[in-house]
Structure 1
Amino acid sequence: MNTRREFLEDTAGAVAGIAFVGCSMVSAASAQAQARRREVVVNGRRVKTVDVHAHCAVPEAMALMGRKVEPQTLLMSQASDRIRAMDEQGIDVEALSINPYWYKAARDVARELIRIQNEKLAEACAANPDRFVAFATVALQHPDLAAEQLEEGIKKYGLRGVSVGGSVNGEELSDPKFHPFWAKAEQLGVLVFMHPQAAGAAADLQSRLRGSGGLENAIGNPLETTIALSHLIFEGTLDRFPGLKICAAHGGGYLPSYGARSDAICVTFPDRCTKALKKKPTEYLRQLYYDSIVFTPEALRHLVAETGSSQIVMGTDYPFPWTRTSVDHILGTPGLSDAERVAMLGGTAAKLLGIKA
């Protein structure tokens, strides 16, 4: 882990010469007035839309950790760019989340880093309260500290939930060491947004995911979420903390598409299911939440069939451009009722995040 001395030495020259992205949205008011805002309507009714999957970086934190930025994320560098994109796509509110999670930082470094991030997220939301809410960040590598940071993020900074990775330095989130964090999340009743990170399954399979196709992202990201959710189910974490509200990115990875195999494994090979669960593995899918980033109408309809329409919330993966049509994806998927579309577009997320409808 990075010590405080290494942290300061490594980052002393990082501020200059790096194009940072961030949540500097204080100057966004004029941009809102200039851009024409798309209004989303379902059966004649104006619908408030909420995007639960919107990436953001805090420049001060990125500088401290000496991180450079991928070119495509430069869209995040100006509040006007972000709000203009939201207006064009018909997004009323974004729930901002930060990734990477800095899970290798030593305790004192992590404490300061998370404070900076959560303070800046709170400032960004306060500057544009009608357009932004945010997920707190926490240092899960220090579970007791993470529980404290979560409570501080919600109660002191007014953040609406918490974002986490799918694993922490090779350790599964179902490990008992993380129980203090899960207990605090359940106690506070906040949404936990789970998003994979490069240090997860993609890193474990690095040699096999090399080459053309961006497999570390295309396969590695949904695989990380699939593994994380499976451990939370099979290790009994969801039984221990039944009140948890977890939202899995990318439609929950592969688990909703192949969950029946998880049911079958416990019937066919009961000795491999060593924890007594209170229900079938697939039944837990209906107590989790999922973003809508599954790309096709057929995939969205299947996700609805496996998890229930009440468990799906809209995500765009902003600023990455492959889901610019998230609103139209939901509007254009056949077989959904008006009520289901309204819920997915923003109704469910608004309830989970405390956003006024």
Structure 2
Amino acid sequence: MTGGIDVHAHWLPTDLFGLPPGAPYGPLRDRGGELHLGEVPLSIATRAMSDVPAIRADMAEAGLALRVLSAPPFAFPVAGPAPDYVDAFNDALAAVVAGSDGALAGLGLVPLDDAAAATTRLEGLAAAPGIAGVAIPPLLGGTSLDSGVLRHVLAECARLGLSVLVHPMQLPRPEWGGHYLANLIGNPVETATAVAALLLGGVLDALPGLRICFVHGGGCTPGLLGRWDHGWRTRPDVRRDSGRPPGEAVRDLWFDTVTHDPALLGLLTERAGKQAVVCGSDYPFDMAQRDPLGFATGGGLDVATLSANARAFLGRAPEPGQSRTGASGPS
């Protein structure tokens, strides 16, 4: 495969712009070709979210051979039962992927209110060609990845060989009401909370085969690993559920490159290792990395390494001569 792999990009068909029942922000609306979430302008063209030719054109411009599509986070069914919405999205995603000649892959949705329903949908995703796994939020009803339905989803994904992409929800808080702080601060904090729950909750110890990726470079995680390690070594309650310090266990995760800061990308690479970093774009949002491969290679990574890491995250066989780190294997 020539070109890069983008594991973090969004797509939603127009007939699902109404969003799941109870969605806190919805619905999506087209106003003069621009997409709005409720009354909030998203600063993107409507067709960029739903139009596959527009997605493919952006891929060509960015030098991408494969893009992995997932629902935008405001389409996650976090407010209660939404089986019809989940099934409609997964069916539409499977059809788009099937018609892409291998240029697109998908991460589906699952119900988040019922563990048994989640298992049923995950088994369906595992049987769908081109569907690599599932996208989920980092937080749900006061819990994170170490408990409740989210923990169940991780266990089932490990059992079924499905990949998991964790994407923050931009949850509102009064102190983040202005200046887009629910995104600029809230998203990185949500993600770091989920990484900490995963590492300190012993989830990786229990599910060693889990393939899980955190977007936006893991949010605050790279800058907090030292603090987490110190707490793990000095406090029994911090290390109670985990067998390794977070700074060691973090190397078994994946993180995308959407950090907006070469220094932060360098810190992520240093702390988690080159084998942990995959290319992401966050297409088509205004916070996207517009030249994802250029940003990543400018930060000292190479396309072969990023692609090998992405294939490992997606559960795909390495290309001939490539390992997860992108280094050449034995001839």
TM-score normalised by length of structure 2 = 0.83
Residue 194 of structure 1 pairs with residue 169 of structure 2: no
Residue 151 of structure 1 pairs with residue 116 of structure 2: no
Aligned to 1:311: 276
Deviation at 1:263, TM superposition (A): 1.0
Alpha carbons 1:47, 1:342 under 8 Å: kept = no
Q: How far apart in 2 are the matches of 1:86 and 1:137?
A: 23
Q: How far apart in 1 are the matches of 2:11 and 2:317?
A: 19
Alpha carbons 1:194, 1:246 under 8 Å: kept = yes
Q: How far apart in 2 are the matches of 1:83 and 1:355?
A: 24
Of 327, 331, 338, the match for 2:293:
327
Deviations 1:248-300 (A, max 9, x none): 000111112220101111333x2432624211121111011000111222222
Aligned to 2:8: 53
Q: How far apart in 2 are the matches of 1:286 and 1:296?
A: 21
Residue 77 of structure 1 pairs with residue 55 of structure 2: no
Alpha carbons 1:73, 1:320 under 8 Å: kept = no
Alpha carbons 1:97, 1:136 under 8 Å: kept = yes
- Structure 2: give runs of 5+ residues left out of the alignment: 21-25, 30-35, 37-41, 320-331
Aligned 1:14-93 pairs, distance under 5 A: 47-63=2-18, 65=20, 67-69=27-29, 70=36, 71=42, 72-74=44-46, 75-93=48-66
Aligned to 1:134: 106
What letter is aligned with 2:261?
Answer: T
Alpha carbons 2:11, 2:50 under 8 Å: kept = no
Q: How far apart in 1 are the matches of 2:19 and 2:230?
A: 48
Aligned 1:176-191 pairs, distance under 5 A: 176-191=148-163
Change (3 A) 1:177 1:124: closer
What letter is aligned with 1:128?
Answer: S
Residue 348 of structure 1 pairs with residue 309 of structure 2: yes
Q: How far apart in 2 are the matches of 1:350 and 1:273?
A: 33
Residue 210 of structure 1 pairs with residue 177 of structure 2: yes
Q: Flag the structure with higher helix content.
A: 1
What letter is aligned with 1:67?
Answer: P
- Structure 1: give runs of 5+ residues left out of the alignment: 1-45
- Report the structure number with the largest CA radius of gyration: 1
What letter is aligned with 2:178?
Answer: G
Task: Tell me which moved more, 164-173 or 154-163.
Answer: 154-163
Deviation at 1:73, TM superposition (A): 5.0
Deviation at 1:351, TM superposition (A): 3.5
Alpha carbons 1:119, 1:157 under 8 Å: kept = no
Q: How far apart in 2 are the matches of 1:113 and 1:93?
A: 26
Q: How far apart in 1 are the matches of 2:303 and 2:104?
A: 22
Alpha carbons 2:98, 2:130 under 8 Å: kept = no
State the number of aligned residues. Answer: 297
Aligned to 1:15: none
TM-score normalised by length of structure 1 = 0.77
Q: How far apart in 2 are the matches of 1:158 and 1:130?
A: 8
Of 204, 218, 222, the match for 1:238:
204
Q: How far apart in 2 are the matches of 1:298 and 1:156?
A: 39
Q: How far apart in 1 are the matches of 2:147 and 2:5?
A: 32
Change (3 A) 1:157 1:137: farther
Q: What SS is found at the alignment partner of 1:331?
A: helix
Q: How far apart in 2 are the matches of 1:150 and 1:62?
A: 23
Change (3 A) 1:159 1:210: same
Change (3 A) 1:261 1:274: closer
Alpha carbons 1:118, 1:157 under 8 Å: kept = no
